[in-house]
Structure 1
Amino acid sequence: MIPAERVVLILLAAGRSERFGARDKLTEDFLGKPLAFHVVTALEAVPFRERIVVQNGTMMDFAARGYRVIHNERPEIGMSNSVKLGVASARAGGAEAVLIALADMPRVTATHVYRLLDGADGPDAVVASSDGTKPCPPALFGAGRFDALLGLEGDEGARAMIAGGKHVVAAAHELLDIDRPEDLERLRALA
């Protein structure tokens, strides 16, 4: 187990949302508040060492919610650039691990995040979420994996690392990733 107080939360919010259309999906209303603030609210009681959001272009005020904002000036490079920016900052701050979460996954719970933390067994830990079929974020990476994260390229993120890590299963509805307008409609129907 790696205690939350030694882990930096990196919230990725710099995607270009190409599959969603012209609107900023992070600001879309879900149950009376912006989509991105659901994961922020769910994790606000987890005592992370620090909270970082990597963003580009969204009008969301993550700083007011306790996040240090890092701007990804080159989102076209892919998710790997956001991961690198967040991990480099977390490493500089002495983090023992990072928990990478996506701002467009509004149903993630603190309970699930604590299960990820409990599954970490040291500096080389890779503990990812899974719906029982495929691994996905949020995912925890021990400091021994920071070099590999900093070497990522493209839009795959840490997909290969996650596939080879430990997996903590959550209900599929907790791991919904909102990529298209129809995903948001399906989420609203569940609520």
Structure 2
Amino acid sequence: MIPSERLVPERTALVLLAAGKSERFGLSDKLGAPFLGKPLGYHVVTALAAVPFQARIAVCDGGDLDYAARGYQVVFNDRAEEGVSYSVRLGVRAARATGCEAVLFALADMPRVTAAHIYRLFDASAGAETVVASSDGTQPCPPALFGAAHFDALETLQGDYGARDLILAGKHVVTDADELVDVDTEDELAYLQAKFGRGRAHAFAKDA
């Protein structure tokens, strides 16, 4: 049997999920909250800027961050209350229009993701049937890479669990837990700020 060809960034659309109510976060615009000198929602953008994706798509529902200025096609989600699955569906629809062979989903509120880890996801891929997710050794999660064979399934997702079942059944690439922190609360942001920055007080100060 001929092995499946590994997926590559040049034929993959990056879909950044940046929509949601952020009800557990105290500030009105979580992604705009300052973290290490820039808005929380720009860290993953900076980290993945040099990865040569075929296309970059940001699914948003408002906020002050200008993803278009950073090279993203912005897709507006006016039904964020339907859960993350609707954002996934919008992202896949936009990605398919680019003719890509795969989609890499990342979350805008995961500020510690690295390009090195993303390349490890690609290294673990195997063609159109690929499902490769990240893991802290216990729980699989985004960033996650999907080959084109799963586009139809992704476009029919419902509810607030996204592609959880597909991710659970796929390969998992383990990395440090801090790289996969999904910031849902001020305490989680303060934890990262205290560990990688200059403490909680600075975390919520306005940018200079």
Question: TM-score when scaled to structure 1?
Answer: 0.98
- Partner amino acid, structure 2, of 1:138: P
CA–CA distance in structure 2, aligned partners of residues 146 and 118 of structure 1: 20
Corresponding residue of 1:104? 109
Secondary structure (helix, strand or coil) at the match of 2:129 reads coil
Quote the RMSD (CA, aligned, Å): 0.7
Pairs within 5 Å for 1:54-133:
54-133=59-138
CA–CA distance in structure 2, aligned partners of residues 116 and 30 of structure 1: 26
CA–CA distance in structure 1, aligned partners of residues 100 and 125 of structure 2: 14
- Residues 34 and 40, structure 2, Cα contact 8 Å, conserved in 1: yes
2:45 to 21, 24, 40: 40
CA–CA distance in structure 1, aligned partners of residues 126 and 115 of structure 2: 19
Shift in alpha-carbon separation, 1:173–1:22, aligned structure 2, 3 A: closer
**How many equivalent pairs are there?**
191
Corresponding residue of 2:162? 157
Secondary structure (helix, strand or coil) at the match of 1:129 reads strand
Secondary structure (helix, strand or coil) at the match of 2:160 reads coil
Shift of 1:13: 0.3
Secondary structure (helix, strand or coil) at the match of 2:134 reads strand
Secondary structure (helix, strand or coil) at the match of 1:123 reads helix
Hey, which bits of structure 1, 4+ residues long, moved more than 3 A? none
Larger radius of gyration: 2
Question: TM-score when scaled to structure 2?
Answer: 0.90
Corresponding residue of 2:206? none
CA–CA distance in structure 1, aligned partners of residues 21 and 137 of structure 2: 28
CA–CA distance in structure 2, aligned partners of residues 12 and 21 of structure 1: 20
Write the deviation string for residues 47-97 of structure 1: whole angstroms up to 9, x where unpaired: 000000000021100011100000001000100000000101111211100
Write the deviation string for residues 99-127 of structure 1: whole angstroms up to 9, x where unpaired: 00000000000000000111110101100
CA–CA distance in structure 1, aligned partners of residues 27 and 121 of structure 2: 34
Question: Structure 1: which 5+ residue stretches go unaligned?
Answer: none
> Does residue 148 in structure 1 map to residue 158 in structure 2?
no
CA–CA distance in structure 2, aligned partners of residues 22 and 173 of structure 1: 22
- Residues 12 and 101, structure 2, Cα contact 8 Å, conserved in 1: yes
Question: Structure 2: which 5+ residue stretches go unaligned?
Answer: 1-5, 197-208
